Structures are given as structure tokens and as C-alpha cells.
């Protein structure tokens, strides 16, 4: 059930002020979520609260909490402070809502502070289920998260953890031996950044599995649902065959942390016996960071009597785990509840529930039209290259991530980080001409071969807003006008920045060539 604001025993409303709520929204995480006192932003450029006047096309990385999400989190916090709901019941209600959206009967859910923590939890559970030294076979970790290779090996991936102010980045968490977990990676692109294709990826995974079996290793095979650039790795049919042919030495994990597939697809993955990782802080539009691990019913009973390493307590709270799982496992959590995590999921769930209440035809129509806007405006300038322009569909939904490389007048790629910073910091734009003073957030630079791309992304809140406008005005073109105008302003500003900076880029290139 969703939590509504309640009245206290004296009939008055327990009101949660913005300062307290926003402090709670960024609690229960690591240094990534910490807000810089000077900028008022975290390392992803998101503030504690809402920023509705800014243009958030950055959902492949992170977005600010929406007004809808903010109100949902405030209502939840008020209910807790009014003592009308125990936090244990609240966390269980969050899991029930996730199961209604994505689960099948018997699904159990573990909440996590981020997708990287979800990977850590999955790796530890995988090793316990396989009951042998295990290899985590990752697909394209450069297109998932920088900390994933470390967390997949049950190592600290930063210098801080949600419940420890200092850890040793790269060190094994307490209770894990070096031989217990190793990590292998398979790329989905070649050195030039060209997508390798499913046949090549599938065959490399199959060969790696065969080799690991000869070594007697347990194998945790990852299927990449959607990467930072909107590509996938390992066909579902191939993953299912690997699992069907498994003598108990292999598990499949679906990395759906971008959450850009349909609920039907996640249910199908759970039916197939796959573990699924999701987050509420990418496409869902919740504030960073909120993750979850969905355990299929086939694996729940197998988790009976396993023991979690004590080092996991730095990342996971007791109420992150469903009651069923807590009765199955032996654990010693140092923290009862991660309230900040729960609030972030409240904000994400209100967006997801609104999204999937929209009929599929309208939802897909909005997605398709957004892609049309992006292509139309990028095509007007020779300075932009849309990566994987021929890749138009995934997971049964329209494309919602558009990676873009910026070129100079000679066709050479330019550093994406320069434009990323200038687009979200209007005060630094010195173009000497008419240019938008709006704040534009794009997905952070990502390497595509030797080039770097920024990503223009559609999010669930954008779809919900467009659908609400359509329901009100009954004119689809009019409902899509704000989205079209935002994309047009972005590309015009981006293009003007490139043109203004062209002389300085040319001078730098000439200097480098001469030296």
C-alpha cells in the first residue's frame, strides 16, 4: 500500500519541513549522494530537492526528484513521524508495490542503496547458492557503472559505505576470501566503439562458461538488459539455455538497472528463474540512489540457512530484506532501517505507478515522438553524430537513450565533458551572442571506443507529464510541444557552444599536431 499523510493523536498534521525532508532524501548512501555545501549538488549534479525549472534529460545517470515524487516522500515521512506506521510495515509495503508492478507469485525483494550495492548483494547470494568458488561474468561493465567490477567481486567500491564513514576501496569486504569470487568481463563493443552484435557476444559468453566449468567454478552470468548507451548483451534465449543446461553451477542475473524494459519482460525473466536487478533512480525518475534485487521463487527456498558475511552490514540494513528471506538467512545487520532509501523508493514508485497506468499505445507513442524530436534536431547540424543510429528498439519499448558525439568542423570528436559542464552551468557560457540561459542536464560522458558521448534521455516522469497534458487538451501535438521545445533549445544551445568554442578547439588541435 502507498503511504498517505496522517493526523497525529491531537488531530494536528505532523508537518515535515523541506530542510529535514531533503536531508533525509540524501541519507543512507555513500559519498556519491553527498551534497557539496558550496554547489548544493551531488557529484551527478542533482540537488537535495526539486529543480523543475531545469531540463532533466539525464535519466541514464540521475535526475532530481520530481514534484510528484517529493510529495510522496513527504507524505511517507509525515506518516512515520506521526507514528501511524511502523517502518517495518512501510518497507514491506514498498516491496509489495514493486511486486505488483514487476513480480510474480513467490518473488522476494531485497532493497539496496544503489544498483552497485545490488550487484554486491547478488554476488554474495550467488556464491552462497552455488556453494563453490564463483566467477561473476559481467557484460560491458564500462556501460553499467564504474564500481560494478569491484562490487561483483565483493569488494568495497568507494572510500565510504552507507553505514561506514571509511572503508578501503578495492579491499574484500569482511567475511569474503580472495578465492571465493573472481570477475571476468566481456565487451559489447569493439575498440572502435562499434557494437559487436548478439551472435558474437553470445558465443563469447558460451565459451567463457565452458572454460569456467572445466575449472570447476560456479558461474554468475550477467545479462545486460540496457546499457548506458541503450544496447543489450546476451540474448535471453541463450541465457535460458545456459540455465537449463546447468548442473547447479550457474545462475543468470539480469541487469535491468536502467529499468527501460516492460513489466511483462521482468516477469518473464523471473519466470525463467533469473535474478533481476532494478533501480528507481534512472528511467523511473526517482532521486539517486535506490536499487532492488528481485529473487525468483525457484531460488528462494535454496537460500535457506545461508550466512551473510559481516562486511555486508556496511551496505545493507535489516529492513531492506523481506521477512521471508530474513527467516532463511543468518545475518547480523548493524542498522535496522535505511529511511532515506525508503523515501527515494517512494518518489520512484509514484512515477512508475503513474507510468504503467497509461495505456501502452499512448506510452509508446510518446516515446516514439521523443525519438523523432531528437533525430530531427540533431540532423540539422553536421557537428553531431548519433551513436547506433540504426538501433531503434529494445525490450519491446521504443528507444529512450540517445548517445551523441560532438564533432569539430573537420569531423574530429570533441571532449564531451566540456559540453556536459557548460550545458548545466549557464553562468560559464560566454558565447557573446544570443543563447539560452536554461540549465540542461544530460547523461554523463560515456566512452564509445576512443570517443566520448553525452546522452539525451527520456524518463518516466516526462512520459507521465506528456500523457497528462494529452488527457487534458486531447491534442497530441499540443501535448508534446513542451518536450519538443526542450529538445530544440538543448540542441540549439549545444550547437552554439560548439561553434563559439571552435577556434579554441582548432588552436589546441594545431598545437597538439605540431608537438
Query: In the prediction, which pLDDT does 13 show?
Result: 43
Question: Same structural domain for residues 346 and 394?
Answer: no
Query: In the prediction, which pLDDT does 8 show?
Result: 36
Report the range out of 57-71, 131-145, 491-505 with the highest average pLDDT.
Answer: 57-71
User: Is residue 395 over pLDDT 60?
Assistant: no
Closest by CA position to 194, among listed 389, 6, 462, 355: 389
User: Is position 155 within any domain?
Assistant: yes
Closest by CA position to 309, among listed 181, 436, 213: 181
Question: Same structural domain for residues 381 and 319?
Answer: no
Q: Specify the CATH number for the domain of residue 487.
A: 3.90.1150
How far CA 462 is from CA of 58, 122, 236, in Å, comes to: 11, 31, 29
Question: Same structural domain for residues 432 and 290?
Answer: no
For residue 504, what pLDDT band results from cuts at 50, 70 and 90? low
Closest by CA position to 414, among listed 490, 493, 497: 497
Question: Same structural domain for residues 365 and 497?
Answer: yes
Question: Same structural domain for residues 378 and 470?
Answer: yes
The edge-to-edge listing of strands for the beta sheet with 451-457 is 55-57, 440-448, 451-457, 401-406, 384-386
User: Is position 8 within any domain?
Assistant: no
Q: Strand 250-256 vs strand 218-224: parallel, antiparallel, or unpaired?
A: parallel
Query: In the prediction, which pLDDT does 76 show?
Result: 94
Average pLDDT over residues 91-95: 97
Query: In the prediction, which pLDDT does 2 show?
Result: 39
Question: Same structural domain for residues 100 and 162?
Answer: yes
User: Is position 28 within any domain?
Assistant: no
User: Is residue 503 over pLDDT 70?
Assistant: no
Task: Indicate the average pLDDT of the chain.
Answer: 91
Nearest-angstrom CA–CA distance, 1 and 472:
28
Scored b (16 or more CB within 10 A) or e, 56-70 reads bbbbbbbbbbbebbb
Number of domains in the chain: 2
Question: Same structural domain for residues 345 and 376?
Answer: no
Nearest-angstrom CA–CA distance, 234 and 224:
7
Question: Same structural domain for residues 190 and 335?
Answer: yes
Place of cell 539560452: 436
Query: In the prediction, which pLDDT does 392 show?
Result: 61
Contact 31, 104 (CB under 8 A): no
Average pLDDT over residues 295-317: 93
Phi, psi of 448 (to 5 degrees): -125, 90
Average pLDDT over residues 389-394: 68
Question: Same structural domain for residues 395 and 252?
Answer: no
Higher pLDDT, 302 or 429: 302
Domain containing 107 equals: 88-353
User: Is residue 7 over pLDDT 50?
Assistant: no
Question: Same structural domain for residues 200 and 344?
Answer: yes
Query: Packing angle between helix 87-102 and helix 67-81, nearest 10 degrees?
Result: 140
Phi, psi of 62 (to 5 degrees): -170, 155
Query: In the prediction, which pLDDT does 220 show?
Result: 98
User: Is position 14 within any domain?
Assistant: no
Query: In the prediction, which pLDDT does 409 show?
Result: 84
User: Is position 450 within any domain?
Assistant: yes
223-237, pLDDT tens digit by residue?
999 999 999 999 999
Contact 153, 136 (CB under 8 A): yes
User: Is residue 358 over pLDDT 60?
Assistant: yes
Question: Same structural domain for residues 112 and 185?
Answer: yes
Question: Same structural domain for residues 383 and 456?
Answer: yes
Contact 352, 460 (CB under 8 A): yes
Q: Specify the CATH number for the domain of residue 255.
A: 3.40.640.10
Query: In the prediction, which pLDDT does 500 show?
Result: 81
Query: In the prediction, which pLDDT does 9 show?
Result: 36
Nearest-angstrom CA–CA distance, 494 and 422:
9
User: Is residue 6 over pLDDT 60?
Assistant: no
| Domain-ending residue, one of 320, 353, 386 | 353
Contact 221, 137 (CB under 8 A): yes
For residue 393, what pLDDT band results from cuts at 50, 70 and 90? low
User: Is residue 433 over pLDDT 90?
Assistant: no
Average pLDDT over residues 307-334: 93
User: Is position 259 within any domain?
Assistant: yes
Contact 266, 259 (CB under 8 A): no
First to last CA, the chain: 65
pTM of this structure: 0.93
| Domain-ending residue, one of 353, 371, 405 | 353
Query: In the prediction, which pLDDT does 233 show?
Result: 93
Contact 495, 383 (CB under 8 A): yes
458-484, pLDDT tens digit by residue?
999 999 999 999 999 999 999 999 999
Query: In the prediction, which pLDDT does 145 show?
Result: 86
User: Is position 58 within any domain?
Assistant: no
Q: Strand 401-406 vs strand 451-457: parallel, antiparallel, or unpaired?
A: antiparallel
User: Is residue 165 over pLDDT 70?
Assistant: yes
User: Is position 413 within any domain?
Assistant: yes
Maximum distance among all alpha carbons in the chain?
78
Place of cell 552554439: 496
Contact 181, 134 (CB under 8 A): yes
| Domain-ending residue, one of 353, 372, 391 | 353
Query: In the prediction, which pLDDT does 348 show?
Result: 98
Amino acid at each position: 500500500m502507498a503511504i498517505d499523510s496522517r493526523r497525529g493523536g491531537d488531530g494536528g498534521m505532523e508537518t515535515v519541513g523541506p530542510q529535514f525532508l531533503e536531508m533525509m532524501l540524501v541519507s543512507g548512501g555513500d559519498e556519491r549522494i553527498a551534497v557539496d555545501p558550496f554547489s548544493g549538488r551531488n557529484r551527478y549534479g542533482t540537488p537535495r530537492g526539486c529543480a523543475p525549472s531545469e531540463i532533466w534529460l539525464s535519466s541514464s545517470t540521475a535526475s532530481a526528484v520530481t514534484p510528484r515524487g517529493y510529495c510522496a516522500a513527504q507524505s511517507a515521512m509525515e506518516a512515520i513521524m506521526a507514528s501511524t506506521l511502523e517502518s517495518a510495515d512501510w518497507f514491506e509495503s514498498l516491496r509489495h508495490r514493486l511486486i505488483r508492478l514487476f513480480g510474480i507469485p513467490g518473488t522476494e525483494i531485497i532493497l539496496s542503496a544503489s544498483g552497485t550495492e545490488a550487484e554486491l548483494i547478488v554476488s554474495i547470494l550467488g556464491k552462497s547458492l552455488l556453494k563453490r568458488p564463483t566467477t561473476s561474468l559481467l557484460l560491458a561493465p564500462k556501460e553499467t557503472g564504474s564500481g560494478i567490477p569491484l562490487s561483483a567481486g565483493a569488494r568495497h567500491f568507494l572510500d565510504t559505505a552507507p553505514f561506514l564513514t571509511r572503508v578501503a576501496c578495492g579491499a574484500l569486504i569482511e567475511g569474503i576470501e580472495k578465492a571465493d569470487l573472481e570477475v571476468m568481463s566481456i565487451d559489447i563493443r569493439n575498440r572502435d566503439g562499434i557494437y559487436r552484435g548478439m551472435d558474437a557476444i553470445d558465443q563469447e559468453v558460451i565459451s567463457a562458461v565452458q572454460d569456467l566449468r572445466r575449472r570447476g567454478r560456479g558461474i554468475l552470468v550477467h545479462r545486460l538488459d540496457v546499457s548506458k548507451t541503450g544496447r543489450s548483451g546476451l540474448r535471453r534465449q541463450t541465457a535460458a539455455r545456459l540455465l537449463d543446461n546447468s548442473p547447479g553451477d550457474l545462475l543468470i542475473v539480469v541487469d535491468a538497472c536502467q529499468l527501460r524494459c516492460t513489466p511483462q519482460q521482468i516477469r518473464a525473466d523471473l519466470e525463467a528463474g533469473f535474478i533481476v536487478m532494478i533501480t528507481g533512480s534512472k528511467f523511473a525518475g526517482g532521486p539517486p540512489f535506490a536499487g532492488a534485487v528481485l529473487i525468483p521463487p525457484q531460488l528462494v527456498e535454496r537460500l535457506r540457512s545461508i550466512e551473510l558475511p559481516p562486511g555486508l552490514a556496511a551496505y545493507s540494513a535489516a529492513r531492506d530484506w523481506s521477512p521471508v528471506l530474513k527467516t532463511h538467512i543468518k545475518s547480523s545487520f548493524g542498522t535496522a532501517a535505511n529511511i532515506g532509501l525508503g523515501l527515494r523508493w517512494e518518489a520512484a514508485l509514484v512515477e512508475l505507478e503513474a507510468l504503467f497506468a497509461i495505456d501502452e499505445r499512448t506510452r509508446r507513442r510518446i516515446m516514439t515522438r521523443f525519438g523523432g524530436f531528437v533525430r530531427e534536431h540533431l540532423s540539422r547540424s553536421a557537428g553531431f553524430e548519433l551513436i547506433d543510429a540504426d538501433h531503434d528498439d529494445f525490450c519491446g519499448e521504443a528507444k529512450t537513450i540517445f548517445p551523441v558525439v560532438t564533432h569539430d568542423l573537420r569531423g574530429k570528436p570533441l571532449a564531451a565533458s566540456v559540453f556536459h559542464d557548460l550545458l548545466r552551468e549557464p553562468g560559464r557560457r560566454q558565447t557573446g551572442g544570443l543563447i539560452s540561459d536554461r540549465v540542461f542536464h544530460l547523461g554523463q560522458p560515456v566512452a564509445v571506443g576512443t570517443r566520448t558521448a553525452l546522452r539525451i534521455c527520456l524518463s518516466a516522469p516526462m512520459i507521465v507529464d506528456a500523457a497528462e497534458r494529452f488527457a487534458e487538451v486531447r491534442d497530441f501535438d499540443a501535448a508534446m510541444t513542451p518536450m519538443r521545445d526542450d529538445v530544440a533549445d538543448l540542441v540549439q544551445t549545444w550547437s552554439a557552444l560548439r561553434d563559439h568554442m571552435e577556434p579554441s578547439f582548432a588552436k589546441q588541435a594545431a598545437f597538439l599536431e605540431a608537438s
